[in-house]
Amino acid sequence: MNKKLFPTVLLPLALLIASTASAQEPAAPKPDTWAATVDLAFSGASGNDRTVLLTSGFKISHLKKERFELEWSGSVRYGKSEGHEVARNLKSGVKLDLIPRATWSPFITVDAERDPFRKLDVRTNSGAGVKYTFWHSAAGTASLSAAVLHSYEDFTSDPDLPLEPQHSARWSWRFKGNRIIGERVRVENTTFYQPVWDRGSQYLLNMDSSLRVPMTRRISMALSHSYARDSKAPPGVHKDDHLVKAGLTIETRW
């Protein structure tokens, strides 16, 4: 073979071998974009007391927080005792945080709730505000938020005591914090205080606290307590509600 043809033949051959070798190398996995968590808690009794209570919640959130933070959450609580329905609560909400990793970040929020046992046919809150993150470290974060909301409430009323739907403007103040204790335990708290803008005695207060201990990479044991207060609850409805849950949290990412 003519020696002058060696470079012409060997160069394409070397490029082909190199490209084949690089193609066989495993590609680096792409970082996850979304995460979904599901909370499950169930209790039941039979015999002298026949009671069933199911509590479930979910959250879908955007993980690439250098761009934005989007979160959709919801929960269902349903219970029966002696064949009669004793609990039915539905909640759902969406929040968009525009600059989540900045110290100051504007956000938009919308949520809705329904609970016939509190005579609440529907309550919606929607508005916008700003979040101030005053602590951020590998161990956890803590922030304060302020927002202005439009609130709509429609209560189930008795024929003899009709209740008109209510539109009002509310302030919304929120504290949110989470911290890892040791290597496994994660503690979280979210507190909302939402007074009507010109009537401070008419407010909604919600406090959710939880403790999670991972069992596997995707499954955790969870213990939580929720406290809700409606300072102007309808006649015949208690102003305060407490809920204690113990169950599992399952997470998946993609």
What is d(CA 222, CA 191) in angstroms, rounded to the nearest whole number? 18
Read off the tokens for 186: 């994660």
Answer whether residue 21 shows pLDDT above 80: no
Answer whether residue 48 shows pLDDT above 60: yes
Read off the tokens for 216: 């596997």
% of the chain surpassing 90 pLDDT: 69
The CATH superfamily holding the domain 30-253 is monomeric porin ompg (2.40.160.40)
The predicted model scores a pTM of: 0.83
Segment 76-90, tens digit of pLDDT: 999 998 888 999 999
Segment 131-183, tens digit of pLDDT: 999 999 999 999 999 999 999 999 987 766 667 889 999 999 999 999 999 88
What is d(CA 111, CA 92) in angstroms, rounded to the nearest whole number? 6
More confident site: 122 or 25 = 122
Cα separation values, 11 from 3, 14, 17, 73, Å? 13, 5, 10, 58
